[in-house]
Amino acid sequence: MASWAFSAPDGYFDDCAALAAQLPEGRLTTRPLFALTPRAYPSDDAASHDDQRPWARFTGHFEALNRESPENVSYKIMFLTRHGQGYHNLKNNLGRDEEGENHDALLKNGDDDDDADDADDALFDASLTPLGVAQATALADLWLASVAADGLPVPRRLYTSPLARCLQTSLHQLKPVADAHGLPYRPVVKEALRERWTTHRCNGRRPRAWIAARWPACVVEDGFPEADLLGARPRPETEAEHRVRVLAALRDVFEADDDVVVVAWTFHSLAMRTLLGALGMVPFKVQPATTVALLVRGEKTDQQASS
């Protein structure tokens, strides 16, 4: 298996950590242009490039980076979206607390959840609240407007955490975008995109068979276990363990989708911050149903024999 080094090159996006620090509760919302920094690119003068919308110009530069990079280096535009408000967020002051942090109440009965089969534990694998659905729908409108006005590229590969709130967010946010551009809506359900396991029931997941039956438009990745092995662990996942898991997901995307350069992940707050830190960025918090755009550079550093 190849070894990879990942980073987020500077100079393309606004300092979202600094922007978040200026906002209520220190949480970023989706920025105009998805925080793309207006600037000139060497590719702007290319004869074949006549679309002067900001994201279209950046995409032209990004394509040039991939053409001109060494064989072992590739770039992807990644759109990272935190799910909309879930019932577990509602239970904990409308999402002002981090998922799974200091929430003893999550081990008890909570608000009614129509998607929860566990009547005695409605917060297990918490689904979206009506507000969460509205947030995801509004985010779809932002995406559609930016595609038209700014040349925002439409992701060609979608990934989602297997937890219900992410499956729902992806449906309400990304299916309208795919439909509007004649693309199939076939998100890949990826186990490694789950929230960091803290032993709280809101971060447990349902069996593979339930996910496949309830979400037939989704593609459950190969090797996805039927049972929730992570949720069966008696102790919390450490930050280091979580980082390894998230980076493994990123490696999978770079290896499996070598020809796909625009990718969307729908996942969780702590998982997003873990990824940002692993890319060498200053992690920051985001509000529910917020999208963050990144340019990610991947470099194969060696090739190790498979055991």
| Residue 108 pLDDT greater than 80, yes or no | no
Residue 216 belongs to domain spanning: 3-301
Residue 307 included in any domain: no
Helix (H, G, I), strand (E, B) or coil at 27: strand
Predicted local distance difference test score (pLDDT) of residue 49: 65
Please tell me the total count of domains within the chain: 1
Residue 161 within a domain: yes
70: in domain: yes
* pLDDT range class, residue 51, cuts 50, 70, 90: confident
Looking up tokens 């190849």, which residue turns up? 2
pLDDT in tens, 8-39: 999 999 999 999 999 989 999 999 999 999 99
How many other C-beta atoms lie within 10 A of the C-beta of residue 264? 25
User: What amino acid is encoded at 240 in this protein?
Assistant: A
Residue 219, strand partner residues: 188
Q: Is the per-residue pLDDT at 111 higher than 80?
A: no
pLDDT band at 172 (very low <50, low <70, confident <90, very high): very high
Neighbours of 279 (CB within 10 A): 20
Q: Name the least confident of 43-52, 153-162, 210-219.
A: 43-52
306 part of a folded domain: no
Q: Within a domain: residue 276?
A: yes
| Per-residue model confidence (pLDDT) at position 149 | 97
pTM of the model: 0.89
**Residue 173, number of CB atoms within 10 A of its CB:** 26
Percent of the chain with pLDDT over 70: 86
**Rounded Cα gap, residues 293 and 138, in angstroms:** 17
Per-residue burial over 81-91, b if 16 or more Cβ lie within 10 Å, else e, is bbbbbbbbbbb
Q: What is the mean pLDDT of the chain?
A: 88
Query: Average pLDDT for residues 179-190, to the nearest whole number?
Result: 98
